[in-house]
Amino acid sequence: MNKKILGLAVALVIIASISVGAVTMMAPSPKAQSPTGQLDFTVSGTSDCLRFLNGSVPTFYAPFTIAANEKMQLTINATKIPGGANGWTDVYVYQDYWDAGNNHICRAESLYPIINDIKSADVAIRANATYTQTFGASTLQSYTVFFVVPPGGPSTFHVTLKPA
Protein backbone atom coordinates (compact mmCIF):
# COMPACT_ATOMS: atom_id res chain seq x y z
CA MET A 1 0.00 0.00 0.00
CA ASN A 2 2.82 2.42 0.81
CA LYS A 3 4.30 1.82 -2.66
CA LYS A 4 0.96 2.71 -4.27
CA ILE A 5 0.67 5.93 -2.25
CA LEU A 6 4.29 6.83 -2.99
CA GLY A 7 3.79 6.12 -6.70
CA LEU A 8 0.62 8.23 -6.76
CA ALA A 9 2.39 11.11 -4.96
CA VAL A 10 5.28 11.00 -7.47
CA ALA A 11 2.82 10.98 -10.38
CA LEU A 12 0.95 13.99 -8.95
CA VAL A 13 4.21 15.92 -8.49
CA ILE A 14 5.22 15.18 -12.09
CA ILE A 15 1.81 16.21 -13.45
CA ALA A 16 1.84 19.42 -11.36
CA SER A 17 5.36 20.29 -12.59
CA ILE A 18 4.37 19.75 -16.21
CA SER A 19 1.23 21.85 -15.74
CA VAL A 20 3.12 24.73 -14.15
CA GLY A 21 5.71 24.63 -16.94
CA ALA A 22 3.03 24.64 -19.65
CA VAL A 23 1.15 27.56 -18.09
CA THR A 24 4.38 29.53 -17.68
CA MET A 25 5.31 29.02 -21.32
CA MET A 26 1.85 30.01 -22.58
CA ALA A 27 1.65 33.21 -20.51
CA PRO A 28 2.49 36.34 -22.49
CA SER A 29 5.84 37.78 -21.57
CA PRO A 30 6.62 41.47 -21.69
CA LYS A 31 8.72 42.67 -24.60
CA ALA A 32 12.31 42.81 -23.51
CA GLN A 33 13.68 46.04 -24.91
CA SER A 34 17.23 47.24 -25.00
CA PRO A 35 17.82 50.98 -24.72
CA THR A 36 16.72 52.73 -27.88
CA GLY A 37 19.45 55.33 -28.09
CA GLN A 38 18.76 58.51 -29.99
CA LEU A 39 15.79 59.04 -32.32
CA ASP A 40 15.50 61.52 -35.14
CA PHE A 41 12.61 61.15 -37.58
CA THR A 42 9.88 63.10 -39.31
CA VAL A 43 6.26 61.97 -39.67
CA SER A 44 3.58 63.38 -41.96
CA GLY A 45 -0.10 62.66 -42.48
CA THR A 46 -3.61 64.00 -42.88
CA SER A 47 -6.81 63.43 -40.93
CA ASP A 48 -10.45 64.48 -40.86
CA CYS A 49 -10.95 64.05 -37.11
CA LEU A 50 -9.11 64.92 -33.89
CA ARG A 51 -10.94 62.46 -31.61
CA PHE A 52 -8.38 60.03 -30.17
CA LEU A 53 -10.95 57.29 -29.57
CA ASN A 54 -12.34 57.37 -33.12
CA GLY A 55 -10.90 54.12 -34.49
CA SER A 56 -9.99 55.42 -37.94
CA VAL A 57 -8.03 58.46 -36.74
CA PRO A 58 -4.37 58.28 -37.75
CA THR A 59 -2.03 58.61 -34.79
CA PHE A 60 1.70 59.30 -34.69
CA TYR A 61 3.82 57.58 -32.06
CA ALA A 62 7.40 57.44 -30.77
CA PRO A 63 8.43 54.30 -28.83
CA PHE A 64 11.69 54.27 -26.88
CA THR A 65 13.52 52.56 -24.04
CA ILE A 66 15.92 54.32 -21.70
CA ALA A 67 18.72 52.61 -19.76
CA ALA A 68 18.86 52.72 -15.98
CA ASN A 69 20.11 56.04 -14.58
CA GLU A 70 19.97 57.67 -18.01
CA LYS A 71 17.99 60.80 -18.85
CA MET A 72 16.76 61.40 -22.39
CA GLN A 73 14.86 64.39 -23.73
CA LEU A 74 12.06 63.86 -26.24
CA THR A 75 11.18 66.83 -28.44
CA ILE A 76 8.27 66.99 -30.89
CA ASN A 77 8.13 70.01 -33.13
CA ALA A 78 5.22 70.77 -35.49
CA THR A 79 6.93 71.88 -38.69
CA LYS A 80 3.60 72.00 -40.54
CA ILE A 81 0.22 71.97 -38.81
CA PRO A 82 -3.24 72.83 -40.16
CA GLY A 83 -4.70 75.98 -38.66
CA GLY A 84 -1.36 77.74 -38.32
CA ALA A 85 -0.94 79.27 -34.87
CA ASN A 86 -4.42 77.93 -33.93
CA GLY A 87 -3.62 74.34 -34.93
CA TRP A 88 -2.92 71.85 -32.17
CA THR A 89 -2.86 68.21 -31.11
CA ASP A 90 -2.79 66.60 -27.66
CA VAL A 91 0.05 64.41 -26.39
CA TYR A 92 -0.48 61.03 -24.68
CA VAL A 93 2.07 58.85 -22.86
CA TYR A 94 2.06 55.07 -22.47
CA GLN A 95 4.57 53.81 -19.93
CA ASP A 96 5.63 50.78 -21.95
CA TYR A 97 6.99 50.01 -25.39
CA TRP A 98 4.43 49.82 -28.21
CA ASP A 99 5.41 49.53 -31.86
CA ALA A 100 2.58 47.83 -33.75
CA GLY A 101 2.18 50.50 -36.41
CA ASN A 102 4.13 51.30 -39.54
CA ASN A 103 6.76 54.09 -39.78
CA HIS A 104 5.53 55.69 -36.53
CA ILE A 105 1.89 55.89 -37.73
CA CYS A 106 -1.06 53.75 -36.64
CA ARG A 107 -4.84 53.94 -36.47
CA ALA A 108 -6.33 54.74 -33.08
CA GLU A 109 -8.22 51.43 -33.12
CA SER A 110 -4.86 49.63 -32.89
CA LEU A 111 -4.45 51.20 -29.45
CA TYR A 112 -7.73 49.92 -28.01
CA PRO A 113 -6.06 46.97 -26.19
CA ILE A 114 -3.84 49.41 -24.22
CA ILE A 115 -6.12 52.47 -24.16
CA ASN A 116 -6.70 52.30 -20.38
CA ASP A 117 -2.95 52.60 -19.79
CA ILE A 118 -2.41 55.60 -22.08
CA LYS A 119 -2.45 58.85 -20.10
CA SER A 120 -2.82 62.42 -21.25
CA ALA A 121 0.35 64.49 -20.89
CA ASP A 122 -1.91 67.54 -20.38
CA VAL A 123 -0.06 69.41 -23.08
CA ALA A 124 -0.71 70.28 -26.72
CA ILE A 125 1.72 70.57 -29.58
CA ARG A 126 1.16 73.80 -31.50
CA ALA A 127 2.98 75.56 -34.31
CA ASN A 128 4.62 77.79 -31.72
CA ALA A 129 4.73 75.33 -28.77
CA THR A 130 7.12 72.40 -29.07
CA TYR A 131 6.58 69.41 -26.78
CA THR A 132 9.70 68.70 -24.71
CA GLN A 133 9.86 66.13 -21.91
CA THR A 134 12.75 64.46 -20.10
CA PHE A 135 12.35 60.74 -19.41
CA GLY A 136 14.40 58.33 -17.32
CA ALA A 137 14.61 56.60 -13.97
CA SER A 138 16.94 54.50 -11.84
CA THR A 139 15.77 51.39 -13.70
CA LEU A 140 15.32 50.52 -17.39
CA GLN A 141 12.09 52.17 -18.59
CA SER A 142 10.09 52.05 -21.82
CA TYR A 143 7.68 54.68 -23.08
CA THR A 144 5.58 55.40 -26.13
CA VAL A 145 4.37 58.93 -26.82
CA PHE A 146 1.27 59.26 -29.02
CA PHE A 147 -0.25 62.30 -30.71
CA VAL A 148 -3.22 62.42 -33.06
CA VAL A 149 -2.76 63.67 -36.62
CA PRO A 150 -4.56 67.04 -36.55
CA PRO A 151 -7.45 67.50 -39.01
CA GLY A 152 -7.69 70.03 -41.78
CA GLY A 153 -4.73 69.37 -44.01
CA PRO A 154 -1.26 67.94 -44.12
CA SER A 155 0.77 67.83 -40.90
CA THR A 156 4.46 67.24 -40.39
CA PHE A 157 6.24 66.72 -37.07
CA HIS A 158 9.92 66.32 -36.31
CA VAL A 159 10.68 63.96 -33.39
CA THR A 160 14.04 63.73 -31.60
CA LEU A 161 15.25 61.83 -28.55
CA LYS A 162 18.66 62.93 -27.26
CA PRO A 163 20.60 62.72 -24.00
CA ALA A 164 19.36 65.31 -21.53
Express each pLDDT in 7-56 by its tens digit. 444 443 344 444 333 333 333 334 446 777 889 999 999 988 766 667 88
- What is the per-residue pLDDT for 36? 79
Q: Which residue has the higher pLDDT, 106 or 25?
A: 106
Q: Which CATH architecture has domain 39-163?
A: Sandwich (2.60)
- What is the per-residue pLDDT for 23? 33
Name the residue ranges covered by the structural domains of the chain. Answer: 1-30, 39-163
- The rounded percent of the chain whose pLDDT value lies above 90 is 63
Alpha helices in 27-135 (DSSP H): none
Q: Which residue has the higher pLDDT, 111 or 15?
A: 111
Q: How confident is the model at residue 102 (pLDDT cuts 50, 70, 90)?
A: very high
Residue type, 103: N
Q: How far apart are CA 114 and CA 83, in angstroms?
A: 30
- What is the per-residue pLDDT for 128? 85
Mean pLDDT of 104-116: 95
> Does residue 61 contact residue 145 with C-beta atoms inside 8 Å?
yes
